Amino acid sequence: MNRVAQSVSPFLQQLPKVELHLHLEGAIPPETLLGVFRRHGNTEMACLEDVLRLYQHRDFYDFLAHFRTILEWLRDADDLEPITYDVLSNLARQNVRYAEVIFSPGTLLHFHGLDPDRVLDAIQRGYARARSEHAIEMALLLDLTRNMGLEYGWRMARFAAGAQDRGVIGITLGGNERDFPAAPYAEIYQWARDQGLRVTAHAGEAAGPESVWDCIRLLGVERIGHGVRMEDDPRLAEYVVEHGIAIECCPWSNVLTGAVESLEAHPVRRWFERGVRLSINSDDPTLFGTDITRELARLQAAHGFSDGEILHIMAQAVQMSFLPEGGKARLRRLLAEFAVQNGFQTL
């Protein structure tokens, strides 16, 4: 699971971007993590070289072990302030203007009993600081983490519903998809939708098309995270096109977790040509040795997406975001200006 060097064109570097599928805990820069380790007296991780080893994985199990180590050291709600600030600053340097960031309060609650309320406060402080310095906005999606059970799911859904005035806009269902199906979450999702929360779910990554069907039919999701196994049932792609259900593609993540055999084997190009609404995302960027700019570069290299097609995908991502109409219009204008500056007539 080596990092793949990928040259990035000025067009991709300067392109205004949106990220719709990015986990806060998987996007922590190594320097930030070193700060966390020092604060908590982790003497085994005393310098950056030590920390960087956590970002190099021999295989997927190694990756999971590293992720677990990182989560074990997030011991104080206040850690989330510099983390959020640094993650957003990183995104802003790539000209990401808007990010829907997934956060899993359950892991910190589980490891250290951290109060989700205090954690959310710290995230909001980090966000306020980042927004005052960079042209970036963020909204939060809370992960119900399916392997933590329904009672926990209800707790998080209620917490999300009560935090809509603090930047939380919706929920997603992450965690172990293979062993914990989505169906039991139908009631929670119905309730969440009634509370005005936006709803997505991770599906078709570790489990087959039936998992995607369940999320669509029983959970009523507006977007699917990953969805690669949709390919095993041709009626699914047809259905998502017909009903405008959007797919958050995370191609490099899918390669590293083994959800697809290679980047070339990823269905993203076929979906694009069939008219599936999709966005390109980095998922766990620092842990996977990627970022949204490199994701786009890899797609151009492996699937021949032109700059014009990348512009189209980015405009589509704006459209499938959960921003209010005014926010979408602002981003569309930004993209349209960028398109014209780069010799395109329209988006």
In sign, the C-alpha dihedral spanning 257, 260, 263, 267 is negative
Instruction: Please indicate whether residue 205 is annotated as part of the active site.
Output: yes
Beta-carbon contacts of 322 under 8 Å, excluding residues fewer than 6 positions away, are 100, 139, 169, 170, 198, 222
Q: Which residue is nearest to Zn ion (CB)?
A: 283
CB 211 within 8 A of CB 177: yes
Measured from the CB atom, is 81 or 283 closer to Zn ion? Answer: 283
CB of 175 to Zn ion, least distance (A): 10
Measured from the CB atom, is 214 or 283 closer to Zn ion? Answer: 283
CB 282 within 8 A of CB 288: yes
Sheet holding 278-280, edge to edge: 17-23, 96-103, 137-143, 168-172, 198-203, 223-226, 246-249, 278-280
* DSSP code at position 153: H
Measured from the CB atom, is 134 or 285 closer to Zn ion? Answer: 285
CB of 285 to Zn ion, least distance (A): 11
CB of 286 to Zn ion, least distance (A): 14
Q: How far apart are CA 34 and CA 54, in angstroms?
A: 11
Q: How far apart are CA 266 and CA 252, in angstroms?
A: 9
Binding site residues, Zn ion, CB under 5 A: 283
Q: How far apart are CA 296 and CA 327, in angstroms?
A: 23
CB of 223 to Zn ion, least distance (A): 12
Q: How far apart are CA 180 and CA 149, in angstroms?
A: 9
The catalytically annotated residue of 81, 100, 205, 295 is 205
CB of 52 to Zn ion, least distance (A): 23
Q: Which residues are catalytic?
A: 205
